[in-house]
Structure formats: C-alpha cells, structure tokens
A = this chain, B = another copy of it.
Amino acid sequence: MLNYYRSSGGKVECFQEFRPGLFAEAPGALHWIDLEAPTVSEASLLEDPFHFHPLAIEDCLAEVHHPKVDDYDDYIFIIVHGIRFDGPRDEFVTRELDIFLGRNFLITHHKGPMRSITSARELCAKNLIASLARGADFLAHQILDQMFEHYFPTLDAIEDKIQLVQVEVFEKPDRETLDRIFTLKRDVMRLRRICTPQREIVHRLSRGEFVVISPKAAIYFRDIYDNLYRIVDASFAYQDMAQGTLDAYLSSVSNRLNETMKRLTVIGAIFAALTVITGVYGMNFEHMPELKWRYGYWMVWLLMAAVSGGLLYWFKKKDWV
C-alpha cells in the first residue's frame, strides 16, 4: 500500500500512487511517501526516481536488521523498531520501520500497520499536521516521537509482569514460576538489546551531525533522546529486577525445601525416641518391675506422649522446627 502526501503552501494533497510527474510539478513542496508492505512496483520508486544507494534499498526491503543510521550525504537511512505488547501471546513484538530522510522528502517503509504512522496519516488526511509545513526533519521527528512514546505502555506491561512474578515468588512459587522468570529475563534482555542502539541513533540525530536535520529540528530530537534515555534506564532496571527475582526464587525454593527437610527430620527424631521407649519395655529381662505394674502399659502411653510433647517443645524453643 502506498500513500503519498504532498504539502506546499499550507495545503496537503494525498495520492494513492506515486508518479514522478507529481513529484516534479511541485518544486518547493515537502513529500512524504509511506510504503506499507509495498508491491514490487511500488517499491521501485526507491530506485527511480530517488536513486537511493542499492545497499540502503536492500536493507530497507529485507527483514529484521539491527537499528542503525547510515549517512549518504543527500539523505540518511534509518532503521528503528517499534514495539507493541501482544496480550494474548503475553510477549512484546517488534515492527521494523525504515526511513529515508532527505531535505524535502521523507519515505517510510514498514511491513504492516504501525500506530505512529497511522496517526500521522490521519492528521495529514485532515490537513492538520503542523510538521508538514516545517520540513521533512520535523515530520520524521513527529513519527519517531510517537513511536517511542508507544514504548511506555509496553514497559509498564513488563513491569507489571515482573511484579506479578515477584508476588508469586514470595507467596506460592512452583515449577512454572521458574519458566516465567526465565521468559522475563529473556524479554528484558531483548528489550535492552533493541533500545540501546536506538538511543545511540537518536543521540546522533540530535547532535546536528547530519545536514538533512536542521539545528532547530535537532533540539526536538533531543527530546526523543530523553525518552530513550528513560527507556534504556528502565530496561537496565528491569534487568536488575528480573535477576533479583530469580535470586529470590532460588533462595525461596531452597529455603522451603530445607524447612521441609528439617521438619521431616524432627518427625523422624520423635519417632526414634518413641521406638527407644517401646524397645525398653520389649526387653525380656526377668526382673523388670514396670512390666508387672497394673497401669504400666498406660503409663508408657503417657510417657510417650510426654516425650513427644517435650521434644517438640524443646525443638520449638531452639527454633529448630
């Protein structure tokens, strides 16, 4: 699907196709072409009339690259990743966004719908988007800003998951808790590995390193950088929390098990004491006065109860049980 927005003189025109003629007839205009899962013929505009570098085109159309920004003087090529929390599958998914940013044009490419692009398109359709008057760099800022804003609900979802697992660890850990913790650790590591290079990219965009980004726009990219700083900071904190949860789990499981062992051993010790008593009165000595007592048998039961109780009390007092 291709959407072409041409903005000049404060008016945004929208086309469902791209023809070089449309591009040429408005020399001072700003052009935004959004390619969503484009057909081969739609994607061909990257080669002609834009003549982007073959490597950039290849990276753009291929799948799953790591985030990066490449400078080709007249334009820059950016790969970033949007994320979205997929509730049913209980994990977050990433979506690659490829951007060609020139002085008077912006070309975005993605394999499926993205919320940040959709909302920008809606504003364009209503002729409401201020960035289109300010330049391609401001438009790129707006889209990236939206995209990274959408990281925060996912961060919140991950934080919620961590807290749920933490409660589980302290209240009722079981076999699956461990799986959940390992999944969490993997998720958090993945998040960190996506975000750290993106922070670096946005840092470069905000530093005025590229000619296609004006100093005025660079200040705005600094704002995205602040967000990414918080995102990366949070992802490191989550990593610590996930590791701490794992440690707490291992410590908790080991303690519960050891407590159980201790109690079983206490029970065994009490039974052993009772066995000694019964053993005593099972001996066959000819001269054992107790055996002849009228209530000897019942006194043994009392003795056994007393010994059990006494041992339990003593163990408890020693904090052994």
Contact = CB atoms under 8 A, between A and B. Distances in A.
Nearest to A277: B279
Nearest to A314: B267
Contacts of A277: 279
A196 to B, nearest CB: 10
Contacts of A219: 53, 55, 72
A283 B285 contact: no
Interface string A45-82: 00000000101000100000110101010000000000
Contacts of A66: 226, 229-230, 233
A43 interface: no
A288 interface: yes
Interface residues of A, number: 73
Contacts of A59: 223, 226
B265 A262 contact: no
Interface stretch (A6-14, A107-115, A153-161, A252-260): A252-260
Nearest to A290: B285
A283 B286 contact: no
A178 interface: yes
A88 B290 CA distance: 65
**Copies of this polypeptide in the complex:** 5
Interface stretch (A23-31, A34-42, A90-98, A293-301): A293-301
A204 interface: no
A320 interface: yes
Nearest to A64: B230
Given A260-B320, A272-B275, A251 B248 contact: no
A264 interface: yes
Which applies to chain A's interface (DSSP): helix, strand, loop or mixed? helix
A190 to B, nearest CB: 9
A278 B281 CA distance: 8
Interface in A287-320: 287-288, 290-297, 300, 304, 318, 320
Contact of A296 (B222, B274, B287, B300): B287
Contacts of A21: none
A203 interface: no
B282 A278 contact: yes
Contacts of A290: 285
A182 B247 CA distance: 11
A321 to B, nearest CB: 9
A257 B260 contact: no
B268 A68 contact: no
A274 B265 CA distance: 16
8 contacts: A59-B223, A70-B222, A189-B237, A193-B233, A257-B259, A278-B280, A280-B300, A281-B283
